[in-house]
Amino acid sequence: MVGKIQSQTASSLGMPLHSGRSVRQNSHSSAQAQQAGVLQVTTAEGDVVTISFGGLQKARSDSRQSANANGYSASSHSSASASIAVGVQVQGSLSDKEVADISSLMSSLGSAIVDARNGDTEKFAADVASASSLGSVQRFQFAYQESAQSEYSSTTRLLA
């Protein structure tokens, strides 16, 4: 009876037994996302602020399962990492109002990025418009880029 339960357990996990032979399954998945941006602001007083940033997130998972007439075993390993870099350059001297307006600008642009990612063009336009109406900001330029990739592979081997 124990062999039958183990066989059903292995089968229910996608690892069918074939005439008492062993089965081994290995799988691997990974994902990576990168973001990079630059914001350059010129204030009404002529101060120039450049803020650059970049981020990288990675995740990886590996698993191994094997089954035979004597039982089932599994192991897995996962890892994740994230990094971010920010650079700020200021030419001039910023007032408290300018700092507050640049913070509001960054917040509005962050919301616009989320809206663009979600395909909400109306909300994107509203966020950019609100970012353009800050009193101490004469003009700004913003560039943003993001990319993502993922990969999955799985192999199953019937062993002798």
Tens digit of each residue's pLDDT (9 = 90 or more) over 48-80: 999 999 999 999 999 999 888 778 889 999 999
Mean pLDDT, all residues of the chain: 86
Domain assignment present for residue 69? The answer is yes
How many residues are there in the chain?
160
CA–CA gap between residue 61 and residue 81 (Å, rounded): 12
**What is residue 130's predicted lDDT score, i.e. its pLDDT?**
80
Tell me whether residue 120 is in a domain: yes
Q: If we measure between CA atoms, which residue out of 37, 40, 43 comes closest to residue 134?
A: 43
Q: Is residue 149 part of a domain?
A: no
- Answer yes or no: is 28 within a domain: yes
Q: What is the pTM of this model?
A: 0.70
Q: In this predicted structure, what is the pLDDT of residue 3?
A: 39
Task: Encode 114-157 in three state secondary structure.
Answer: HHHHCCCHHHHHHHHHHHCCCCCEEEEEEEEEEEEEEEEEEEEE
Q: Specify if 158 maps to a domain.
A: no
If you ran DSSP here, which 8-state letter would residue 160 be given? -
Which segments in the chain show pLDDT lower than 50? 1-10, 12
Dihedral of CA 62/145/108/49: which sign?
A: positive
Q: Is residue 76 part of a domain?
A: yes
Contact 41, 48 (CB under 8 A): yes
Residue 49 lies in a domain: yes
In a domain, 124, yes or no: yes
- Coil vs helix vs strand at 46: coil
If one counts the domains in the chain, the total is 1
According to the model, what pLDDT value does residue 14 have? 55
Query: According to the model, what pLDDT value does residue 16 have?
Result: 52
User: Which structural domain, as residue segments, surrounds residue 85?
Assistant: 2-144
Q: Give residue 80's pLDDT.
A: 96
Burial 46-85 (b: 16+ CB within 10 A, else e): ebebebebeeeeeeeeeeebbbbeeebeeeeeeeeeeeee
